[in-house]
Copies of this chain bind each other. A is one copy, B any other.
Amino acid sequence: MIQTKDDFFALVNEIQSSAYYKEPLAFGIARVDRGQKNPEKILQATFPFINWKENYGSAAIFQKALHETGKLLNDESEAVYDVTKNFVAEALSYCNPWIEEAIGDAHKNVQVIKYLSTLDEEELANFKIVFLFEDAAPKSVEAVYLKLYALSTGKAALRSVNLNGAFGILHNVAWSGTTPIELDWLRENELELKMSGQYPVIDSVDKFPRFLQHIIPADNTRILDAAKVRMGAQLAAGTTVMPGASYINFNAGTLGPVMVEGRISSSAVVGKGSDVGGGASILGVLSGTSGNPISIGENCLLGANSVTGIPLGNGCIVDAGIAVLEGTKFFMSEADYEKIKEANPEWNAEYKEFFKGRELAGLSGLHFRQDSTSGQMKVFRSNKEVKLNEELH
């Protein structure tokens, strides 16, 4: 058993220069939900805490404990191990100098080991230790969840994580509160469950859980309906998600306080101070756009029931009810052209009467409107400042 912190650091150094050690991109210990019918099927992984490019001391300790118990196998892009009594005992003996101060926010990995040390072998069967060594396409449910946690906790930036093939790895299950249920198990037991009045309350059927099932938002963040935010979304502090037509998909979200009453589709990102109006749609890469992820800058206003299919810079306004798509043609006056150029010095397009949406992508200070007397779509230099209601964010 390691007795002092110095000994601990020495041990970590020793491990890190050993042949078996491999520095992880991320790691964590998860409680898993297994299939009711097929217990080898992992339906969900719940991490009390994840490590993302950090806490390499704990990583070393965990790898040594796996190595000592004869399980370490670090030659893939990721690895998932059972948590055994021996592993826990080993890890605990190395963590010993930190045990006492591992409370509250301090030494979360040690807290996890401490907790696991109170469990018996049967209870430990619900836990897995997960390592990602590189950001490759995930190969296990546990790896997908670790990446979704990285996004939703904000430890990894939106769009920065490789989730290729995640849809194929996750199982489509019925969610009853926090519990995933295999659809096949439900089918096999439907008759008895219904006859006995024990049929479970099903909240959704999906491959992904809900964000609020795993993530505690900041004190000034509001999500009025848990169904509206998928796990893997990222919500910066001060974001409000209203329950009307809103939705935030995984790998999408906000970078600061944002009012969300519309849809932020997969891989779309909205900057601070922006207002996604009621029913406004930001098109995503999974369906709707040609595959280019859309960023909305800061202090933008997407009016109620508008549709935005191009990236916007800062301070843009899309009027209520209109669609700004890549192919939409917008009339621009010469005077507005000059002002828009001034607001976007890097923009070097020549003046012309009509610009397509895709030619205006990413510019700041634009105001998109439909002329109510002619029906023509127009773009102006915006002269309104968008400000969120401070009471609400």
Choose, from A6-14, A130-138, A241-249, the stretch at the interface.
A241-249
Q: Quick one: given A31-B195, A224-B206, A372-B328, are A216 and B287 in contact (CB under 8 Å)? A: no
Please report which residues of chain A, range 101-137, place their CB below 8 angstroms from some CB of chain B when the two chains form the complex: 104, 108, 111-112, 115-116, 126
- Alpha-carbon distance between A203 and B244 when the two chains are bound, in angstroms: 15
A191 touches B304 (CB 8 A): no
Interface: A272 (CB within 8 A): no
Please report which residues of chain A, range 148-184, place their CB below 8 angstroms from some CB of chain B when the two chains form the complex: 167-168, 172, 174, 177-178, 183-184
Interface: A39 (CB within 8 A): no
Shortest distance between the CB of A382 and any CB in chain B (Å): 14
Shortest distance between the CB of A364 and any CB in chain B (Å): 21
- Alpha-carbon distance between A304 and B46 when the two chains are bound, in angstroms: 34
A 198-209 binary contact with B (CB < 8 Å = 1; else 0): 011111111100
Interface: A375 (CB within 8 A): yes
B263 touches A281 (CB 8 A): no
B304 touches A304 (CB 8 A): no
Choose, from A16-24, A66-74, A314-322, A338-346, the stretch at the interface.
A314-322
B277 touches A217 (CB 8 A): no
Neighbour of A372 across the interface among B184, B220, B376, CB < 8 A: B376
Interface: A310 (CB within 8 A): no
Interface: A223 (CB within 8 A): yes
Choose, from A53-61, A88-96, A225-233, the stretch at the interface.
A225-233
A288 touches B281 (CB 8 A): no
Tell me which residues across on chain B come within 8 A of A205, comparing CB atoms: 212, 217, 221-224
> How many copies of the polypeptide does the oligomer hold?
3
Interface: A337 (CB within 8 A): no
A225, A244, A323, A370 — which one has the most chain B CB atoms within 10 A of its CB? A244
A172 touches B220 (CB 8 A): yes
Neighbour of A375 across the interface among B206, B226, B370, B391, CB < 8 A: B370
A167, A213, A275, A288 — which one has the most chain B CB atoms within 10 A of its CB? A288
Neighbour of A323 across the interface among B47, B191, B309, B320, CB < 8 A: B320
Neighbour of A392 across the interface among B202, B259, B286, CB < 8 A: B286
B202 touches A225 (CB 8 A): no
Q: Quick one: given A226-B202, A246-B244, A277-B281, are A167 and B108 in contact (CB under 8 Å)? A: no
A168 touches B391 (CB 8 A): yes
Interface: A374 (CB within 8 A): yes
- Alpha-carbon distance between A188 and B108 when the two chains are bound, in angstroms: 11
A321 touches B305 (CB 8 A): yes
Interface: A329 (CB within 8 A): yes
Interface: A307 (CB within 8 A): yes
B202 touches A212 (CB 8 A): yes
Interface: A79 (CB within 8 A): no
A279 touches B245 (CB 8 A): yes
Tell me which residues across on chain B come within 8 A of A177, comparing CB atoms: 201
Shortest distance between the CB of A369 and any CB in chain B (Å): 9
Neighbour of A226 across the interface among B112, B192, B203, CB < 8 A: B203
- Alpha-carbon distance between A247 and B227 when the two chains are bound, in angstroms: 13
Shortest distance between the CB of A28 and any CB in chain B (Å): 11
A191 touches B373 (CB 8 A): no
Q: Quick one: given A319-B323, A370-B375, A376-B372, are A305 and B281 in contact (CB under 8 Å)? A: yes
Interface: A377 (CB within 8 A): yes
A 31-57 binary contact with B (CB < 8 Å = 1; else 0): 100000000000000111100000000
Tell me which residues across on chain B come within 8 A of A392, comparing CB atoms: 167, 286-287
A-B contact pairs, 5 of them (CB 8 A): A204-B223, A228-B244, A244-B245, A286-B391, A305-B306
In the A-B complex, the 6 residue pairs with the closest CB atoms: A375-B375, A244-B247, A321-B323, A245-B245, A225-B227, A281-B304
